[in-house]
Chains A and B, each alone.
Chain A
Amino acid sequence: MEYIIKNGIVFDPLNKVDGEQMDICIKDGVIVESVSEDAKVIDASGCVVMPGGIDSHTHIAGPKVNTGRLMRPEDSYKDLYLKRGLKPGTGFSIPTTYKTGYEYCEMGYTTAIEAAMPPLKAKHVHDEFVDTPQIDKGALTLFGNNWMVMRYLKEKDYELCAAYVAWVLKTVRGFAIKIVNPGGTEAWGWGRNVHGLDDPTPYFGITGREIVRGLGIVNEMLGLPHSIHVHPNDLGHPGNWKTTIETMDCVKDIEPKPKYGERETTYYNAHVQFHSYGGTSWKDFVSKGVEIAEYVNKVDHVVVDVGQITLDETTTMTADGPMEYDLHMSTGNKWANCDVELETGSGVVPFYYSPKGPVYSVQWAIGLDIFLNTDPSKVLLATDHPNGGPFTRFSRIIAWLMSKKYRDYWLNEKVHKWARTRSSVGDNDKEYTMYEIAQITRANQAKVLGLSLERGHLGVGAIADIAIYDIGPEEKDPKVIERAFRYAKYTFKNGEIVVKDGNIVKEVFGDTLYVDVKIDETLEKELMKDLEEVFKKDYTVQMENYKVPEYLANNWKVIQIDNSEIS
């Protein structure tokens, strides 16, 4: 099928296209130089054209998301998706699989990365991916509290650790290394937590610093497309901004060596809003968003996603088990948690970020502080869905960023006065341009995930994932912005029209991305000896049960990396 998108105003930061009126040609699912006269013409005059959106940090599949759905019938009953010809769905903060796919696509998003997959529960994650239509998916795999990783890193055996990481990624079909509260989730298994980067975890005696640095080294040894994806220690505690900067700083000497993609950074800090808290308690809690932004601007090895609070009722879920327990104890809300043998843990707690709450208002302002002060090429838009708020609020965040007036309206009319007095959002006049919005929702994500060769841009050869928004490039009315980015005029997935005027018109099934690194055979044999022993002694499953079978995807998209020189 051939299409030509005519007269759109194109924003494509990876190719430095800033609001140029041009035509985009599509043939057989990719973007091409020109098409024949039979091509279908899509009139995009007066509309903004961008590459398909990418969410690099979201929780949309797997056991903890499903637990959230089970424990929150009340989240389902007021948000129904009943469109004809499509699968119905429910859920506001934790939508069912089909609803997730449809709603991402309605917003012009075409790729989403599940941010926490416990290797042992990988089958569940992939099983839900199969039922998540419209978007391409990938899963960050949890390694930060893995017994094998901690054991090898304690012995400083980076080669075997690399071999293990490669084996897990291949076996459970994971996309990248995720680290959550390094050492802390393991400590939670002993009823404790770690409180800083140099606090040793019980039994293993390894610190967060050793885990983050070690996995950083391993990541570059393997040449993975994405960098280490880190949720540092101390999430959500006043005064944690120092730990955050320390964590970012501890990997600054590691060189990026991706063997796939064009990544230039070695460290991805997830939902940095939750890690930019000043003060010593909730009473003298202040924003340190500006300080974090200054650090990020100064260095070359870091990118951050914000994890913006949207001030909604939502469901928090993370592999940071002890933190969820704290949340449950402080709110009295229902709580579920899980220990994943030898690998990680998790917790789920519903949460209401009331705009009237002083602390929540400051949290909201911190996210904006980071957005407004960080170099737009180093910051990414995400809500850490559903932790900061549901992904369907992206368009509202875009409206906040593009309109100072809208921000001030919220600041003065809607939220608690702490947001004004304890952050610098009110003093900041920055308004994001359409180009910068394209950077923080598409280009930066594609680049840092190592997918910028074929995604996140509109150059010739790219996958034809395209969003067309019914909005002028100079539009300032927040209502118009919010509406336009919530319901795309058109979304193309692999060169097909899947959304028209905000409605899903075609159901397609996306690919599942994973990374397969080939490593040296003798090294792998050595690893297998250790692994067999661990499976026999400690796991409740056999190694064969661990594998994610071939059929658990609509289509696998494997990124092959040959790295047999590690020995």
Chain B
Amino acid sequence: MEIILTLREDITVPVELDALLPEKMQDMDVEEIKNIEVPQGRTTVKVGEIFDVKVIESDIPKMTIKNSSIKLKRVGEGMTTGEIVIEGDVGMHVGAEMKGGRIVVNGNADNWAGQGMKGGELIIKGNAGNYIGSAYRGGYKGMSGGLIVVEGNAGHEIGEHIVGGMIHIKGNVGYFVGIHAKGGIIRIDGDVPGRLGAEMIKGAIVVNGKVSEVLPSFKYEGIVENPVIKIKKKDEGTKIEGVYHLFTGDYVNNKPKGQLYISVASNPHLG
């Protein structure tokens, strides 16, 4: 069953949609869906009051949000199966704590996308904010599985405390990519202004664009060609194509195993 929610008009006070998971709404009819209460600011609102609801046949549990707005928060939070398609922008915490399934955002996403994600796929076609795949504020376990792809640019502190899974940003990013990383792989196709991998213990960061500088607490290991990235001992390894400067660190920690792969072609000033 596919549920199509069309936002009637732009809203000013944010709405939290974590109650609207496609898997939960499979056995509901349109009236029931319209009557689901969701928080809006400090009050609640019924789904039917802000959305037009339509249900059509589909093989998988699916939800489509049309005319979406950045004021719609927590879309797909805790989702385990099915698919969510968002036409337009989406607010904070999209796909947070997600365990399975697939979310496609045909627009931009605000901060905290895929926070604490454990599995599944989150595809953002536009730009994304800060803290993608991070831990909850104050926590020390970020994204632990799954895949996040951002086709545009992203903000600061991508993959904060990441312990597993993969983040792929096709554009440029801000400062502190992979801060406190304890596993996982972060791929950046664009440029990084600096401070990447600060305090990382484990995991790998691959940058194909320009890196203005590498933290002095990283050790230069030389040039590698077409490396196979291994995070755990039993890991089969992820193969990447290209020629990279390899750094290890961050040596502010004891016995760090973090790896930075920085493209030689885009960074003649390093090494």
Decide if B138 is an interface residue (CB 8 Å cutoff). Answer: yes
Q: Are A77 and B136 in contact (CB under 8 A)?
A: yes
- The distance from the CB of A250 to the nearest CB of chain B, in whole angstroms, is 39
Residues of A within 8 A of B137 (CB): 73-74
Per-residue A-contact encoding for B125-152, CB less than 8 Å = 1, 0 else: 0000000000111111000000000000
For the A-B complex, the count of residue pairs with Cβ-Cβ distances under 8 Å equals 15
Nearest-CB residue, chain B, relative to A76: B138
Nearest-CB residue, chain B, relative to A352: B140
Kindly name the residue among B138, B140, B253 whose own CB sees the greatest number of chain A CB atoms within 10 A.
B138
Q: Are B253 and A73 in contact (CB under 8 A)?
A: no
Interface residues of A in 198-248 (CB under 8 A from B): none
How many chain A residues touch B (CB < 8 A): the figure is: 8
Residues of A within 8 A of B139 (CB): 74
Decide if A280 is an interface residue (CB 8 Å cutoff). Answer: no
In the complex, A71 Cα to B138 Cα: how many Å? 7
Q: Are B136 and A74 in contact (CB under 8 A)?
A: yes
Per-residue A-contact encoding for B193-230, CB less than 8 Å = 1, 0 else: 00000000000000000000000000000000000000
Decide if A72 is an interface residue (CB 8 Å cutoff). Answer: yes
In the complex, A333 Cα to B253 Cα: how many Å? 12
Residues of B within 8 A of A72 (CB): 138
Q: Are A74 and B253 in contact (CB under 8 A)?
A: no
Q: Are B138 and A332 in contact (CB under 8 A)?
A: no
Residues of A within 8 A of B140 (CB): 74, 333
Pick the contact of A332: B135, B136, B253 (CB < 8 A).
B253
Per-residue A-contact encoding for B95-137, CB less than 8 Å = 1, 0 else: 0000000000000000000000000000000000000000111
In the complex, A73 Cα to B140 Cα: how many Å? 11
- The distance from the CB of A88 to the nearest CB of chain B, in whole angstroms, is 12
Residues of A within 8 A of B253 (CB): 332
- The distance from the CB of A77 to the nearest CB of chain B, in whole angstroms, is 6
- The distance from the CB of B144 to the nearest CB of chain A, in whole angstroms, is 15
Residues of B within 8 A of A75 (CB): 138
- The distance from the CB of A73 to the nearest CB of chain B, in whole angstroms, is 4
Nearest-CB residue, chain B, relative to A75: B138
In the complex, A71 Cα to B137 Cα: how many Å? 10
Interface residues of A in 400-428 (CB under 8 A from B): none
Nearest-CB residue, chain A, relative to B140: A333
Kindly name the residue among A71, A74, A75, A77 whose own CB sees the greatest number of chain B CB atoms within 10 A.
A74
In the complex, A74 Cα to B137 Cα: how many Å? 6
Nearest-CB residue, chain A, relative to B135: A74
Residues of A within 8 A of B138 (CB): 71-75
Per-residue A-contact encoding for B17-48, CB less than 8 Å = 1, 0 else: 00000000000000000000000000000000
Kindly name the residue among A71, A72, A332 whose own CB sees the greatest number of chain B CB atoms within 10 A.
A332
Residues of A within 8 A of B136 (CB): 73-74, 77
Q: Which residues of B contact A (CB under 8 A)?
A: 135-140, 253
Q: Which residues of A contact B (CB under 8 A)?
A: 71-75, 77, 332-333
Other contacts beyond A72-B138, A333-B140: 13, CB < 8 A: A71-B138, A73-B136, A73-B137, A73-B138, A74-B135, A74-B136, A74-B137, A74-B138, A74-B139, A74-B140, A75-B138, A77-B136, A332-B253
Q: Which 4 pairs, one residue from A and one from B, show the smallest C-beta to C-beta distance?
A: A74-B139, A73-B138, A74-B138, A73-B137
